[in-house]
Amino acid sequence: MTTLTDAVFAEALRQKPGFLVVKFYANWCPDCRRVEAAYRQFPERFPGLAFAELNTDENQGTARLYDVRGIPSFLVFEGGRLVDRLYSRDAKSVAQVEGFVSRFAPSGQAS
């Protein structure tokens, strides 16, 4: 799991040619904690995808740039371009986050 910051975010997007799923979170957020353990297993469960996370309290510039107003929020980038997002209102459970992420996994890669 890659931890991103404001300083490295743009470069990280350039380095990932496929899908990159980024969880925007804060340590104090109960919904973030609810999905944290499952999200940490996603790199193994969805090997065709890249995963990262960004703490919005510590990296407010990137959160503002992508208009992240609620957490957790999950943004999906492809080739450095934002292609989809799961808003915090729809990211309250592991099942919701897993269903969203699985849409980007190559066929047969979710385990």
Rg, the chain, Cα only: 13
- Residues designated as active site: 29, 32
| End-to-end alpha carbon distance in the chain | 18
Q: Label residues 31-64 b or e (16+ Cβ within 10 Å = b).
A: bbeebbeebeebeebbeebbbbbbbbeebeebbe
